[in-house]
Structure 1
């Protein structure tokens, strides 16, 4: 097929990249690179400065040295649409097209850096195993990053066949729905296929990234969606339900029912990266309550007229939710403060203010005892 056929808006649903998400908007974004003789393609795998790119001519191996290798937020990642050289040894990725969405977490190092896990994702599927006790706090953390990325989160409760009865499964789903307002929660079983038809319908509408801890059943779920055993699967440990890293790289694969799937390695650490709006989305009920507090800067600790504390006293808001909200807000502020001098100064002033308030309260208490 000729290169020009990829650029024709009327043919955007019929050319070879359509299964990988190519559309008229991407054709428009790529148009300035056409006169240079470059080829459009989508990155399906990245490995040590090189990447596999699917193009109209098939999958090619390309070097990413031209694309800011020393900036972790600007390196090529799985899911990127790129302009790649038509030939050469090696051939190079010249640039990537502006990202529509990007799933970013903080790195595990002590440096103030973000790490892009996947780009141009429509759905962020958070896989949670029902073989172990639910960790609602970790689910909230994944969802904060998912909302911040610009993708629509979906929580998939895997290994539903291990839940003894429908009533118990229903309660587990309700617990997660309370933790994930506005997010679809789908119990599925890759073993017997229960619930998979709903998930297939969701992922067929764009690109999805599969996220979760090792042992969450991501690779098994990916195989079920792909209709064949493409991803390696290993059994989880009986003692704690945890699994090994069967997926070691992020791979993008076209799904037989439409859409594309990015499978990722199990994530032990899920650090926030400038995810204030994502945290607010996860805890939308707390932010709605906070808007009704007497003071606009209410910390929801002991202030009079605090609508959040009133909701906890009335049993409307679980205290666990407020604790988790505070934790993620503090963590996100620390991350942002590492690169934002103004915010660092604001946090320092807030610490001093609270310290002065605590000191004044202690002196007043001592005065009453004297």
Structure 2
């Protein structure tokens, strides 16, 4: 094996200083409250952490430089991509995964399918610079899986959507284009949609090594949390997958650019509006509302854009104060 099989690229190599040649690059595989595990050419190790280092500042998928003799973590390298979210009431963003090439947004062909929630994940992926793919599980149990496929494809321009049965070997073939050697994917979605099942299939785990899986309630397709922490796993195809706990709610924050990509048809029309700061709600000369009235733009898409944009604005902290002494203030607390 080589470092490249773990996802190491020239981007990370260029960050190593001349006096760090003896340090060993490793990748964070699991983050716990007081400890971290990493993988590298020497296998899996538990890292020794310097005083005052907080594990919350690291994400699964991070590249770090480690002292080979003591296993002491020396420093974290700059990330190529970072998935993070702001939880309600939290001051800082929660790190989800780092250096992810492709985000598999997993949902199932049942009552779990929710366009507005999927758009939140898409905005997150777009902002992070990670390529999103919608993965529709349990297609074999749906009466009309094609309906779910078409609904998902309409969420974002040129969005890859794959429907599959996560228990079959065919699932590996369908997702193989994103799971090649050195590639890293992450799985996100609600509990009960089949993320752990999909991970077991992609990684071809032995029965005694499989991630736990759980059933769902038939009335609302809600599942239980079977994955309790984020972790990095090797794939049979030579890539890597980061499994994440199910997220029932996902608050958007700091993703204005990601929302712009998600609703590209609105973003492209906005410069044609009469007013530069048009909200596309009531202003005269609004090109976006004109497109809705002409039947060229789905009014439900515009309404979901408005809700997501408003939530992102309200949840994104702003800088305030005199120059040289600016501080971050939550918008909601300024009201």
TM-score, with length taken from structure 2: 0.89
The equivalent residue for 2:61 is: 79
Supply the distance in 1 between the matched residues of 2:268 and 2:219 (Cα, whole angstroms).
41
Residue 344 of structure 1 deviates from its aligned partner by: 10
- CA deviations over 1:129-181 (Å, ceiling 9, x no partner): 113252100000010001111110111011110112xxx32222111111122
- Paired residues in the alignment total 323
Structure 2 CA distance for partners of 1:270 and 1:227, relative to 1, 3 Å = same
Structure 2 CA distance for partners of 1:64 and 1:282, relative to 1, 3 Å = farther
Question: Structure 1 residue 266 and structure 2 residue 246: aligned?
Answer: yes
- CA deviations over 1:93-148 (Å, ceiling 9, x no partner): 1211110000010023x133111110011101100111325210000001000111
The equivalent residue for 1:285 is: 265
Query: Which 10-residue stretch deviates more, 132-141 or 19-28?
Result: 19-28
Residue 182 of structure 1 deviates from its aligned partner by: 2.6
Supply the distance in 2 between the matched residues of 1:33 and 1:174 (Cα, whole angstroms).
54
The equivalent residue for 1:186 is: 162
SS in 2 for 1:301: coil
Structure 2 CA distance for partners of 1:221 and 1:324, relative to 1, 3 Å = same
Supply the distance in 2 between the matched residues of 1:157 and 1:240 (Cα, whole angstroms).
17
Supply the distance in 2 between the matched residues of 1:197 and 1:311 (Cα, whole angstroms).
40
Supply the distance in 2 between the matched residues of 1:197 and 1:61 (Cα, whole angstroms).
33
Residue 31 of structure 1 deviates from its aligned partner by: 4.6
Contact 1:125 1:155 in 2 (8 A): yes
Question: Structure 1 residue 29 and structure 2 residue 15: aligned?
Answer: yes
For the aligned residue pairs, the C-alpha RMSD in angstroms reads 2.4
SS in 1 for 2:232: strand
Residue 201 of structure 1 deviates from its aligned partner by: 1.9
More helix by share: 1
- For 1:321-360, what aligned pairs fall within 5 Å after superposition? 321-336=301-316, 338-341=317-320
The equivalent residue for 2:178 is: 202
Contact 1:67 1:93 in 2 (8 A): no
Stretches of structure 2 that go unaligned for 5 or more consecutive residues are 322-326
Contact 1:66 1:94 in 2 (8 A): no
1:111 alignment partner, one of 79, 90, 95: 90
Supply the distance in 2 between the matched residues of 1:253 and 1:125 (Cα, whole angstroms).
15
Residue 49 of structure 1 deviates from its aligned partner by: 2.6
Contact 2:112 2:221 in 1 (8 A): no
Stretches of structure 1 that go unaligned for 5 or more consecutive residues are 1-13, 352-370
Contact 1:66 1:93 in 2 (8 A): no
Contact 1:80 1:99 in 2 (8 A): yes
Supply the distance in 2 between the matched residues of 1:195 and 1:314 (Cα, whole angstroms).
41
Query: Which 10-residue stretch deviates more, 295-304 or 117-126?
Result: 295-304
Answer with 1 or 2: which has the greater Rg: 1
1:160 alignment partner, one of 123, 139, 146: 139
Structure 2 CA distance for partners of 1:298 and 1:64, relative to 1, 3 Å = same
Supply the distance in 2 between the matched residues of 1:148 and 1:38 (Cα, whole angstroms).
32
